[in-house]
Amino acid sequence: MTVIDANRMQEIETRYPEYFHRSFRQRFGGLMILIATLLYSLYAVWFFDLPKLFAEAHWERVGIYLSQWVSYDVQPEFRIEGDGSIDIRYPRFSPLGDNPHPDWLVNNPDGSITVSISGTSRSVTVSKSETIVTAHGVSVPVDVLSGAPKVVGPVPGWMTVYDDNVLADLGFAGNVSISVDRVKIRKRFIGWANFIFDTHSSFFDKPVGEVVSLIVSGPRIKPDQSNLSLAFDDIWNNSEWQHGDVWTKLFQTIVMAFLGTLLGSLTAFPLAFLAARNITPNRLLNQILKRLFDFLRSVDMLIWALFLTRAFGPGPLAGSGAIFLTETGTLGKLYSEGLENIDSKPREGIKSTGAQTVLVHRYGIMPQIVPVFVSQTLYQWESNVRGATIIGAVGAGGIGLKLWEAMRTNANWENVAYMVILILIVVFIFDTASNALRHRLMGTKAH
C-alpha cells in the first residue's frame, strides 16, 4: 500500500486542479439540471391543465376510429308497414350493391326476419309486434305495439332506453336502434369493402377464380374492350376508393417534394458561395444573404403554402413553391456553413498556381463539399415528401388535400387508413433509398 504525504498530495492537486478544485457548476450542474427539469414539468402540467385534459378526453373515440380504419359496416333498415309486412331498405351507397341478398339475413316462416350480427351469439329478430335482441347470453324482447318501444323484463347494461327509441350496443359487432315502426341495424365486418371492384363494376361480387377466368380467356363483357382493360378501368375508377385519383395525388406529392427540393438546392448553391465569408470577402453581401436564408426558413412551409394558394390558387404549383422557398433558406444556410468549414489548404495550393477562380472552386472546394451537400439535400428531400403531405391539406395539392377531405367527413376512416398506409410506404421507400445514397456518397456503411 502506497502512502502519499502532504507535499505529494499538494503537488497532485496543483497538477490536476480540475479534479480537486471543481467549480460550483461542475459539482452541482447535473443536480441543478434535474431540479430545473422537474420544475418545468410541474409548470407544464399546471399550464396545460393536464389532469383536467386527461379526465375530460374522449378516450372511447380512439377505439371507434381505429375500428373504422380496419372495418366497414352495413346498415339495413326494417320498416314495419301498416299491414304487418316488413320492408327491408339499405342506404343508397350500400357496400352490398343495389340488390343485396346477404346470407346473414334470414326470412322466417312466421314472417319475421332474423339478422345475425355476430354468428349465433349476437342476433336480432324483427317481427311486427316485437324485436328480440340476443347478446351476452340473454335474449331481450322489445315490445313495439304499445305506442313506444318497451323492454320486456329487466334492462341489461348494454341497452339504453329513450322516450321513443331503444339502443342496443353490441360492441364491435354493431348496434341496433329500435323504434315503433322501424329497426335500424349496423353490422360491422372486418376488412375493406369493394376495395378492388365497386358495386357498378361488371366484376363486382364475383369469386376470384371467375374474375381471373374472365380476364384470361372469358368472352368479352363489352365487345369494344378486352376484359383485362375493363378490369383495369374498373379498379382505377373505383367510385368508393378512387384509386386513380388517390395514386395521381400521391404522385403529385412526390413531384412537389422533388421539384421544390431540386429548385431550392439549385438556387441555394450559388447563393451559398456568396454568403460564405471565406469564399466571398464582402461582409455586407454575406450578411444580406444569411438574413435572407433566415427569413425564408423561419417562415414555416405551411405558411408559405397558404400565401401561395392565395396567389396561384389551390394546386401543386403552390406546394412546389412553398417547398422551394423553405428549402432555399434551409439549404442555403447549410451550404454556406459547410463552405465556411472547409479545409483551405487545397484551395490555397491551387490558387498559388495562378488558376482562375472557377478552377480554384472546382478543384479546391467542390471535392470537399459535394458529398456533404448531396447528403444534406437528400435528407431534405425525404423530409419534404412528408412535408408535402401536410401542406396539401391547406390546398397546395397532392394527397394531403384528399386525406383532409376524407377526414372531414368523419365517416370514411377506412379511406383515411388506405391513404395513410400509402404515405407510410412511400416515405419508407424514399427514406431507405435516401439513406443508401447518403451512405454511399459519404463512404460509410448503412446500419
List, run by run, the mean pLDDT of 10-residue segments along the chain (447 residues). Answer: 65 65 72 92 90 84 82 91 85 84 89 87 90 90 86 90 90 90 92 90 89 88 89 92 92 91 93 88 90 91 89 85 93 89 77 76 78 85 86 82 83 88 89 80 62
Are 251 and 384 found together in one domain? Answer: yes
Are 181 and 298 found together in one domain? Answer: no
Beta bridge partners of 89: 77
Q: 22 in a domain, yes or no?
A: no
CATH code of the domain in which 409 resides = 1.10.3720.10
Count of domains observed in the chain: 2
Distances (CA, A) of 129 to 81, 102, 142, 180, 182: 11, 24, 9, 9, 11
- The pLDDT of residue 368 is 78
Our separate counts of H helices and E strands in the chain read 16, 13
Listed as own residue / partner, the contacts of 187-192 with beta carbons closer than 8 Å and 24 or more positions apart are: 187/73, 187/74, 187/75, 187/76, 187/104, 187/115, 187/117, 188/67, 188/71, 188/72, 188/73, 189/71, 189/72, 189/73, 189/74, 190/70, 190/71, 191/70, 191/71, 191/72, 192/72, 192/241, 192/414, 192/418
Neighbours of 391 (CB within 10 A): 32
Q: Is the pTM of this model over 0.75?
A: yes
Are 176 and 255 found together in one domain? Answer: no
Distances (CA, A) of 377 to 63, 361, 366: 40, 20, 15
Domain boundary among 129, 162, 190: 190
Q: 118 in a domain, yes or no?
A: yes
- The pLDDT of residue 395 is 78
Q: Which domain does 94 fall in, by range?
A: 74-190
